[in-house]
């Protein structure tokens, strides 16, 4: 299996599909998942002539189960290490949820001159936690509850979380038990410390300045029934901060990329990649 090793000795696993001479698309996964969450989109990219790359964030999937460095700046630095190791240029970035924050931070701090397009789906920027300046956000007590659930019974917590994640608590949901089981499986592969520490990173990191720095085309996608990342505090604010952005809200779409939402999103992603 391919790995790169960062300056602090962390091994980052990555997948690399398609033509190695083609334009690269890098996929960044959400919490608490791994690069496997992007398999459908990676195949779509590779089948359409792109080089599809996805990594397991440190502490997740097959990467080192780190105790230190589980923070957004280090996540972005790890991605930079991968980009430099593979000498990637003309990069298209795609990030879901926490991964949306990661690619935005990477593009703003490391990607100038290398990144040409960005797409996010259900992404956490600009900031999730509720405050006086972000009244549409989610109260800190909700994130404290996530941490408590992880500490008390991570396995059952992930099983329960898969319901709002994919919107299976909504009438007419067609998301299978298999999809929910895959969420649980990928979550349980992650290191315990990383799972816990990442909650603070996806909820309290302020990406406002990062979004304002971006001048490449950015496609901001989100299900309008996202029960994990409220659109009013995320995509609907992010679009106002970027210079060259397009926002699309998908009616009835959940947070997890699956079902009819995935099918429509993938069509739009392919069109954006080729544009």
Active site residue 255: yes
H or E segment to which residue 101 belongs: helix 98-109
**Rounded-to-integer distance, Cα 98 and Cα 113, Å:** 23
Is the Cβ–Cβ distance between 241 and 211 less than 8 Å? yes
> The tokens of 105 are what?
């931070």
3-state secondary structure 112-169: CCCEEEEEEECCCCCCCECECCECCCECHHHHHHHHHHHHHHHHHHHHHHHHHHHCCC
Q: Which one of 56, 78, 210, 226 is the catalytic residue?
A: 226
Is the Cβ–Cβ distance between 60 and 194 less than 8 Å? yes
Active site residue 97: yes
> The tokens of 39 are what?
């398999």
Q: Which one of 55, 60, 96, 255 is the catalytic residue?
A: 255
Q: Which one of 34, 97, 162, 235 is the catalytic residue?
A: 97
Active site residue 60: no
Catalytic residues: 97, 226, 255
């Amino acid at each position: 299996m391919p790995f790169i090793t960062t300056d602090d000795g962390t091994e980052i696993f990555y997948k690399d599909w398609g033509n190695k001479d083609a334009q690269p698309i890098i996929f960044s996964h959400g919490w608490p998942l791994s690069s496997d969450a992007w398999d459908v989109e990676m195949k779509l990219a590779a089948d359409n002539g792109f080089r599809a790359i996805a990594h397991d964030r440190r502490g997740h999937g097959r990467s080192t189960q780190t105790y230190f460095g589980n923070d957004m700046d280090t996540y972005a630095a790890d991605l930079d290490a991968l980009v430099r190791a593979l000498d990637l240029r003309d990069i298209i970035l795609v990030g879901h949820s926490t991964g949306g924050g990661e690619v935005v931070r990477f593009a703003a701090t490391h990607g100038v001159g290398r990144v040409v397009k960005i797409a996010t789906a259900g992404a956490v920027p600009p900031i999730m936690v509720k405050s006086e300046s972000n009244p549409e956000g989610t109260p800190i007590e909700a994130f404290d509850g996530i941490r408590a659930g992880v500490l008390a019974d991570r396995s059952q917590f992930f099983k329960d979380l898969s319901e709002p994640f994919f919107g299976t608590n909504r009438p007419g949901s067609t998301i299978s038990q298999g999809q929910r089981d895959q969420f649980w499986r990928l979550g349980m592969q992650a290191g315990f410390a990383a799972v816990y520490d990442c909650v603070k990173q996806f909820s309290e990191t302020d990406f406002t300045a990062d979004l304002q720095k971006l001048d490449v085309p950015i496609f901001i996608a989100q299900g309008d029934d996202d029960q994990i990342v409220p659109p009013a505090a995320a995509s609907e604010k992010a679009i106002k901060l970027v210079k060259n952005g397009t926002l699309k809200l998908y009616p009835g779409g959940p947070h997890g990329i699956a079902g009819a939402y995935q099918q429509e999103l993938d069509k739009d992603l392919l069109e954006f990649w080729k544009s």
